[in-house]
Structure 1
Amino acid sequence: MSQNFEEYNMVLQELRKRISDIIQDNVQFEDCFYIYFWLNARRFDIDATEALIRETARWPRWRKSKDAIGATKADYHPGIQKCFPIRLDGKSKTGFAVFTGPAGKFRFGETIKKFGREAIEYYWLQLLCKAEKLLIEYNREVRKQNGSFVSTWPPIQKSWLILDITNLSVTDLLSRDVLGVVLTLIKMAVTHFPVLEGNLVFINAGTFTELFFKIIRPMLTDTKIDMLVFGTNKNKWKPFILQHIDPRQIETLYGGTLDELMDSY
């Protein structure tokens, strides 16, 4: 961020005036710290930030204040949660959140057919809303300990989502219907949740998953998310993960010593 504090504060207050109608419907935007992530996502361009916030207010429809709050508070659909478990393990060595998931066991086609696309998208929205709330809390804690310069830290020092893709069904994932849903979910995350800063890590990737990564990597270009892909050699990905996360803060499946968690966050 090139602006000094006074310049930043002027930009922030001007943006708050412009989105006063949005603030009336979504109290989160009253919070200067929350608005910071939106400004940061658009390099503190006030016009671009306002446009992004207004786009988000319109899409998806669940993001409107009362529904987003409801999504955050509501319990997950137990059937979908069982099919797509994402868990909050512990914290990284820098104090940011560590999420994990056995993505190789996800069967998108079967789950979409059983529960419907809209239910899957709503479950994903819930995951994102709950993660957003946690990440803001963790960001506040880290900033209190380290100062505002935390915002300039590279993604490697921030949050983690580690997905084990052992036995991932590439045929299922790359079918037209499934791919359409997956791309919608990724777009929802990277466009409308700028608080998501950090690392998206895939472990135990097979040869045939490369096409999938080629599809999603460009979607992360203008984000503060780094995607890292590791093959099946545990001697390569485990030391890397434990360099940044204490083994007591992450499950055994992902290289740590934490007992398997039964519930999602």
Structure 2
Amino acid sequence: MSPLAVGVVAALVGGAPGWYRAMLLLAAASGLRQGEIFGLEVGHIDFRNGTVRVQQQVVSPDRGEPYIGPPKTHQSYRTVPVARSAMDALAAHLLAYPVAGVQMEDRTDPNRVKWRSAQLVFTSKRREAIRRAAWSKVWENLEVVAGKALAKQHAEALQRWERRGRPEGDEPILLTVPDGSSMRDLRHFYASVLIKHRESVKTVQKRLGHAKPSITLDTYTHLWPDEEDTTRAAIESALGAVPPMCPLAA
């Protein structure tokens, strides 16, 4: 797993249709799973404290209608602090695309399955729950749009570089959307940013809703920076008050 570059994330968000733009930004800023974002309701957003609460997801079976189900694991129930830019985007999204309510089956409680009007923040253009298969096609088109934007940015950067006399070591790098990428890569991007800023395994696990820390480590251990070896200094500090050994007798 290699996380997306910031420029690629920006191109994906900027190239998305208006009603999906805030959703992609939220994915990159929160690490929510795809189904968790599709299942986000207005009541799960706390604008005052800048958080979103995960307590369900939209499940899209291969056959049948999408429905609301519980999150993937018990640890997936969580509250995630979200960057101010993403919270502002959510507020703007709700003003531009007011929630209308989507009639869906709610299976979050298997003993009390019911139909209700889900106040979904993000829906399809037709105001329906986003289906996994339909979203895959949207993502494929988004990859093309973002790729063209990145190629244009690279061409413009090359022109500026050439006008500066092609300084050595400063040649622009062409960013691309990796083949086989998906919305899950925005979740990986979120995790990589936390790790880069030296968040602990436990914190990253909690934010992502992984069932166990070992899952977090198995996925992202290669991203954690190597720490300077301070073991010698730690032991010296602990044993500093211990009298040194007497010289051995001849």
> Scaled by the length of structure 1, what TM-score is found?
0.26
Task: Name which one, 1 or 2, has greater alpha-carbon Rg.
Answer: 2
- The structure, 1 or 2, with the larger RCO (C-alpha pairs under 8 Å, 6+ apart) is 2
